[in-house]
Amino acid sequence: MGSFFEDVFTDLRAPLERDPAARGWLDVVLSYPGFHALVAHRLIHPLYRAGIPLLPRFLSQVSRFLTGVEIHPGVKIGKGIFIDHGMGVVFGETAEIGDGCTIYQGVTLGGTSLSHGKRHPTLGRNVVVGVNSSVLGAIVLGDNSRVGGGSVVVKDVPANATVVGVPARVVAQDGKPIRAVPDRPRVEMPDPTSDAIARMQRRLVELEQRLSVLEQGDAAEEEAWSWVI
């Protein structure tokens, strides 16, 4: 991380580059709670690192009250971060966020362990985490990876990969779709649509056969009457 002003300037530029709704730097400064939360954290984080008790945590809760974004004072955040809308975003104590990441509303970078030490995710550079997603545990999301909205990520994500689902799975790598391969035998379930189509086909064959018989009967009757005439 660079100096405070360098980091803030880079954070200010991020929504201007990534949010079509941004109407200039003054709009971001006045109206973007994600930017406000980042500026507050960049002031609070040095106090936490200096070992000052209580104050950093208290100030982070004041920031949470004002912005709707909860960032623990211990979180390590790179430059050029964009927190879109921000409401409901939570970053746990040992989370690390690389340069250029984009975080949408409702995202949680949470822990799955009660032990001390590293227990929250690490995001590489230029990672995008979609709305209402949860990234849980001391896992790593590689550079340029993407998390689909509403996903729950509990395993490492390779660089340049896209993951979706609960739990999240890789659906694209380096921009190319990946066909899902079952990791265990699946029970073959009946398909009601295909069953209905098969019944219709059988019924259609029966009707065609009956129609053919009727047409043959009509032809024979016409031939008989022709001899009478």
Tens-place pLDDT, residues 23-56: 899 999 999 999 999 999 999 999 999 999 999 9
Q: CA 42 → CA 59, 63, 100, 189, distances in Å?
A: 12, 12, 16, 54
Is residue 155, in this structure, part of any structural domain at all? yes
Q: CA 147 → CA 35, 121, 122, 201, distances in Å?
A: 21, 13, 13, 44
CA gap 95, 58 in Å, rounded: 19
Among the listed residues 139, 141, 91, 97, the one whose alpha carbon sits nearest the alpha carbon of residue 118: 139
Q: How many residues does the structure list for the chain?
A: 229
Same domain, 107 and 203: no
Same domain, 60 and 152: yes
pLDDT tens string 4-28: 889 999 999 999 999 998 889 999 9
Q: Which residue has the higher pLDDT, 103 or 5?
A: 103
Q: Which residue has the higher pLDDT, 169 or 2?
A: 169
Same domain, 37 and 124: yes
Is residue 58, in this structure, part of any structural domain at all? yes
pLDDT of residue 176: 85
Same domain, 217 and 167: no
Among the listed residues 28, 106, 120, the one whose alpha carbon sits nearest the alpha carbon of residue 70: 106
pLDDT of residue 4: 87
Is residue 67, in this structure, part of any structural domain at all? yes
CA gap 25, 7 in Å, rounded: 15
Is residue 97, in this structure, part of any structural domain at all? yes
Same domain, 79 and 149: yes
- CATH of residue 94's domain is 2.160.10.10
Same domain, 100 and 196: no
User: Pairing between strand 161-164 and 169-173?
Assistant: antiparallel
Confidence of residue 120 (pLDDT cuts 50, 70, 90): very high
Burial class (CB in 10 A: 0-12, 13-18, 19+), 172: middle
pLDDT (mean) for 157-164: 94
- In the numeric block, the tokens 């019944």 are attached to 199
Range of the domain at 36: 4-177
Q: Using H for helix, E for strand and C for coil, what is the string for 6-70? A: HHHHHHHHHHHHHCCCCCCHHHHHHHCHHHHHHHHHHHHHHHHHCCCCCHHHHHHHHHHHHHCEE
Among 133, 148, 177, the domain-final residue is 177
Same domain, 60 and 132: yes
Is residue 95, in this structure, part of any structural domain at all? yes
pLDDT of residue 225: 59
pLDDT of residue 62: 96
Same domain, 80 and 164: yes
Same domain, 129 and 84: yes
pLDDT of residue 162: 94
Same domain, 11 and 29: yes
Among 143, 159, 177, the domain-final residue is 177
- Asked if residues 122 and 140 have their Cβ atoms less than 8 Å apart, the reply is yes
pLDDT of residue 223: 67
Confidence of residue 177 (pLDDT cuts 50, 70, 90): confident
Residue type, 56: P
Which structure tokens are listed for 57?
A: 């945590």
The whole model's pTM is what?
A: 0.73
pLDDT tens string 129-159: 999 999 999 999 999 999 999 999 999 999 9
Number of separate domains in the chain:
2
% of the chain exceeding 90 in pLDDT: 63
Same domain, 172 and 194: no
Is residue 182, in this structure, part of any structural domain at all? no
Is residue 86, in this structure, part of any structural domain at all? yes
Same domain, 148 and 221: no
pLDDT (mean) for 200-210: 89
Q: CA 108 → CA 50, 85, 91, 128, 134, distances in Å?
A: 26, 14, 6, 13, 5
